[in-house]
Structure 1
Amino acid sequence: MTRVLIIMFSLISFFTMSAQTIQFENKQFEISNVKSSVADLKGEKVLKIERDLNKIPFDVNHLENTVDEPTFVKLSNENIENGIIEVKVLSQIQNPSPFEFAQGFIGLAFNINDKNTAFEAIYLRPKAGRSELQFHRNHSVQYYAYPDFKFEKLRKEEFKGQYETYADVGLDEWITFRLELKKEKIFLYINDQKFPSFIVNERKGKMKSGSIGLWVDIGTIGYFKDLKITKY
C-alpha cells in the first residue's frame, strides 16, 4: 500500500511539474500567469500564449495594479546581460475581449529574476500602430520595468514621453521583434530595420541580467516563433 501511494505521489508531482513548463523549438519555458500551448497557425507550429485571468485578475478601474505584470513564459536555465534577443510575434485580440481597449499587447520581458518579481519589458500595441489618430500611434511601443515603473507611471509628464513611441506594426501579421541589450541602453528593431525604432537611454530595471520571457497582456492571443539569442 505504501509503495502504491509513493508511485501515485510521484505521478501527481510529475504532472504538476509538467503543467508548469512547455517545450517549443527545443527550448523549455516556465509558465507564469499565462495559458500556453503549441498550436497550428496557418500551417506551421507556433507557441500560443494568453494571459490567465484566474492567476492575475484584471480590473479595468485599476489598470496600474493589474496590467504590466509577469504574464509570460520564461526561458529555463538562461541568463543574459548584453546581447541580442530576436523573435517573431503575431497578435490577435480575443473575441470577446475582457478589455474594451485591448491593443494586442505582445513583446519580450528580459532581465527576469528567479522569482519573477523584477524584470524589464518592451512590448507592442499593434492595433495602435494602424490607428487613424496620431495620439494613439504614438503609443505603439512601450517600455516598462517591473514592479516600480509600469506604463502609467512612465506616461507622466516628468518622463517626457521617452518610454513610448510609434512603430509601423499591425494586428494579425508576423513582426520581427529584435532587442539589443547594450550596457545601459536598449535598442528595438522592427522587421529587419537598419536603424532602431526605439531607444531606451535610461533603464529603470533593478536587475543587471536575467532570463527572457515571451510576454502578452490583457485581451491578447499571442503567437511566437523563431526565438534567437546572441550573447556578447
Structure 2
Amino acid sequence: MKRLRLILFTPPIILAMCPVNALYAETALAEASGLVSLEADNLTVKNVAVKPSRYRGSAAALVTVDPFNPADDATFAKVDGIAFTDFTLDVSVAGKPIDATSSARGFVGIAFRVSDDLERFEAIYIRPTNGRADDQLRRNHSTQYISHPGYPWEKLRNNQPGQYESHVDLEAGAWTRLRLIVRGSSARLYVNGAKQPALIVNDLKLPVSKGG
C-alpha cells in the first residue's frame, strides 16, 4: 500500500478524518494496525475536494475547500471501511494560508467518531500560523477541540476559556506529526514527538461510540 501524507491548504477550518500514515485502532471487537490508503476512491468527502499531490518531497493527499462557500466546521475527508471506539492514531499533516487574509490560516486536524450520516463528530485540530504569532493570545489558540454540531469553538471558548485549546510550537506549511490518543471520553494530542500532550480533553461531548 502506498505511503501517503496529508496536506491541507484551506481558508476555513478543515478537519481531516483519519488521514493517517499509520493507524493503530482498538475496539471492543478487534484490534487492527497498519497503513491506510488515502487514495480518492477510499474516501468519503464532506464539503471538500481531494486529489493526489506531492509536497516537500512526499506523496500527499491535497484536501481543499471552496474559500467562497465555507461550511462551518463540517469539512473533512473520511477514510472508508474503518470504525473504532478507542484508538491511537499517528498522522503527518501540513497546513498554511492560501493568501494573506486574516481568516486564511490553514487550520488542519483530525475528526473522529464520525456518525454514519456525517453530521456528528469530535475533532481536534491545529492552527499553524498561531504557533509562532507575536500575539500571546493567538499563541494560546494553537490547538483546538470541538464537537460538531453542538460545541463549536466559539461556544467552548466563551463558556470555558482556555480549557479546550492551548499553545504548541507550530510552523505554518511544515509537516507536523500529530498523535491522537482517545480512550472513552478522554483525548490527548501530542505534537512532533513530544512526550507530553499539547492538549488534554477529559470530557468529550458526544456519547462514546464506534465510528470512523
TM-score (norm 1): 0.71
Query: By how many angstroms is 1:38 displaced?
Result: 0.6
The code of the aligned residue for 1:78 comes to: I
Residues 27/199 of structure 1: CA separation in 2 closer, same or farther (3 Å cut):
farther
Residues 26/67 of structure 1: CA separation in 2 closer, same or farther (3 Å cut):
closer
More relative contact order, 1 or 2 (CA 8 Å, 6+ apart): 1
Distance 2:164 2:50 in 1: 28
Counterpart contact for 2:185–2:208, Cα < 8 Å: no
Query: By how many angstroms is 1:209 displaced?
Result: 2.3
For residues 82-137 of structure 1, what are the alpha-carbon distances to aligned partners after superposition, in whole Å with 9 as ceiling and x for unaligned?
A: 11011000112113x6x533221000000001111100000000101110111100
Query: By how many angstroms is 1:151 displaced?
Result: 0.4
Unaligned runs of 5+ in 1: 1-22, 59-65, 212-232
Q: Secondary structure at the match of 2:151?
A: coil
The code of the aligned residue for 2:132 comes to: R
Q: How does 1:10-25 map to 2 (within 5 A)?
A: 24=38
Q: Extract structure 1 runs of 4+ deviating beyond 4 A.
A: none
Residues 94/160 of structure 1: CA separation in 2 closer, same or farther (3 Å cut):
closer
Structure with larger Rg: 1
Aligned equivalent of 2:14: none
Distance 1:101 1:180 in 2: 29
Aligned equivalent of 1:29: 43
Of 139, 142, 153 in structure 1, the residue corresponding to residue 144 of structure 2 is 142
Is 1:52 the equivalent of 2:66?
yes
Residues 129/77 of structure 1: CA separation in 2 closer, same or farther (3 Å cut):
same
Q: Secondary structure at the match of 1:93?
A: coil
The code of the aligned residue for 2:162 comes to: G
Percent identical pairs in the alignment equals: 32
Distance 2:49 2:39 in 1: 18
Distance 2:65 2:39 in 1: 21
TM-score (norm 2): 0.77
Counterpart contact for 1:121–1:144, Cα < 8 Å: yes
Is 1:178 the equivalent of 2:182?
no
The code of the aligned residue for 1:149 comes to: Y
Residues 206/53 of structure 1: CA separation in 2 closer, same or farther (3 Å cut):
farther
Aligned equivalent of 2:163: 162
Aligned equivalent of 1:225: none
Aligned equivalent of 1:92: 96
Counterpart contact for 1:27–1:75, Cα < 8 Å: no
**Coordinate RMSD, CA, aligned:** 1.9
Query: By how many angstroms is 1:73 displaced?
Result: 0.6
Q: Secondary structure at the match of 1:135?
A: helix
Distance 1:140 1:101 in 2: 14
For residues 19-76 of structure 1, what are the alpha-carbon distances to aligned partners after superposition, in whole Å with 9 as ceiling and x for unaligned?
A: xxxx63698111211011010223321111111357xx23xxxxxxx522x2111010
